[in-house]
Amino acid sequence: MSDNFRMLAKTLYGMEDVLAGELRALGAGNVKTGVRCAFFDGDLGFMYKANLSLRTALRVLMPISDFQLRDPAELYDKIREVDWTNYLDPEMTFVVDTVLNSDLYDHSLFVSQKVKDAIVDQFRTKTGVRPSVSVADPDLRIHLHLQGNTAHLSLDSSGDSLHLRGYRTETNIAPLNEVLAAGMLLLSGWRGHSDFLDPMCGSGTLLIEAAMIACNIPANINRESFGFQKWKDYDPALFQTIYDAMLNRTREFRYSILGYDKAPSAIRKAQENVRNANLDAYIRVEQADFFKTSKQTRGPLHLATNPPYGERLPVDREVFYGMVGDTLKKEYPNTRAWMLVGDPDILKCVGLRASRKIKLYNGGIESRLALFEIYEGSKKAKYQ
């Protein structure tokens, strides 16, 4: 597998172009966006690098077969046509994940079972021994996406979702997905060229992702493992070479990254996660009520936060967001303030005009990433 092959990286809604930009910057070839995904070409080493480095990818899939189904009964035969001994040994374990957007079947679990049966029966015929299914910790994760009559069969090189970075052991009631956090920051233009503040930092996800972007630290450097490390063709020496090369691309950061939260429990969780990410030198977390704070730095400030929506965390939205707007206007001059809000109507409560609004989803909640530009002095004094 030294030659280039086609791959697919899955992402969240609204992150497709960001992901494509990441892939191009890493050196991927023939990058094209799809719905919540991006396609690209690369070799085995690039697959390792993509898993290690991509901030807005949830999974990196390696397609192995596309086929058409005229009726449901064909699926079993089509799966058996794939030579599974290329990917599995009888002593290995596997699991099948199915995404179903087709009228051919009613239940994804039934489809996954059919795929499993076809693989197991092929091994019984060829070797007399069958591999086992392991849902918790499989050696091979197989992904089937049925779109109408078209089936896309892939191997999942990531294993666990790539949003599981490995640094977050402590969370709050409504933790922010790490991929969403990184995507928010990249969409906001954050690259580490100013001071940074999250005034309602919770368990610290935005702070940590901001520091990793600023220092060009690979997104998944703290993960214990990837799916491809259990594959038959895994090359540990090549992975170590890629790992070392990506670490050599890190850079220093000369500004400050600060997080506030008024809950002592949130501060403790954030500090623990920052330590897990080995970013104590770059991130400071303080217990403080944002509404009683003011800007601590003189230059431009990049503010990004995920305040409570009133969905999972109770809040009087009109009063709360009105206070957010007042605090920004009075105490945070020369600031670009980005907020992820779970209801577009919330923005009316802020009392400031949003200069940008980007549609995203936080879990199942349709949200807006909104920019409020707070000028220093008169409104004509543009943010530098």
Please report the pLDDT score of residue 382 as a whole number: 46
Q: What is the mean pLDDT of the chain?
A: 93
> Model's pTM, two decimal places?
0.92
Q: Class of the 5-156 domain?
A: alpha beta
| pLDDT reported for residue 376 | 84
pLDDT tens for each residue of 22-36: 999 999 999 999 999
Helix 178-187 to helix 16-26 angle (10° resolution) is 80
What is the pLDDT at residue 315?
74
pLDDT band at 313 (very low <50, low <70, confident <90, very high): low
| Second CATH level (architecture) for the domain 178-220+252-374 | 3-Layer(aba) Sandwich (3.40)
Q: Which of 42, 374, 46 is nearest to 241 (CA)?
A: 46
Q: What pLDDT, on the 0 to 100 scale, is given for residue 316? A: 83
Q: Identify the pLDDT of residue 266.
A: 93
Using an 8 Å Cβ cutoff, are 307 and 342 in contact?
no
Two structure tokens written together for 57 = 């990818």
What is the arrangement of strands in the sheet containing 93-101, beginning at the earlier edge strand?
A: 29-34, 37-42, 5-10, 59-68, 150-156, 140-147, 93-101, 132-133
State the Cα torsion 269-361-191-261 to the nearest 10°: -30
**pLDDT for residue 384:** 45
Residues contacting 334, CB < 8 A, separation 6+: 295, 299, 300, 301, 374, 375, 376, 381, 383, 384
pLDDT, tens only, 62-110? 999 999 999 999 999 999 999 999 999 999 999 999 999 999 998 999 9
Say how far residue 328 (Cα) sits from the centre of its chain: 29
Task: Look at residue 181 and give its three-state secondary structure.
Answer: helix
Where b means 16+ CB within 10 Å and e means fewer, 164-196 reads: bbebbebebebbbbbbbbbbbbbbbebebebbb
Residue 14: band (very low, low, confident or very high) from pLDDT cuts 50, 70, 90: very high
Tokens 């910790």 correspond to: 137
User: What percentage of the chain exceeds 70 in pLDDT?
Assistant: 95
Domain ranges (residues) in the chain: 5-156, 178-220+252-374
Question: What mean pLDDT is predicted for residues 326-348?
Answer: 95
* pLDDT value of position 2: 52
The per-residue pLDDT for range 186-213, each reduced to its tens digit, is 999 999 999 999 999 999 999 999 999 9
| Per-residue pLDDT at 276 | 96
Residue 180: pLDDT band with limits 50, 70, 90: very high
Residue 100 token pair? 């179903």
pLDDT at res. 383: 42
Q: What does the DSSP assignment read for 105-167?
A: -S-HHHHHHHHHHHHHHHHHHHHS---EE-SSS-SEEEEEEEETTEEEEEEESSSS-TT--S-
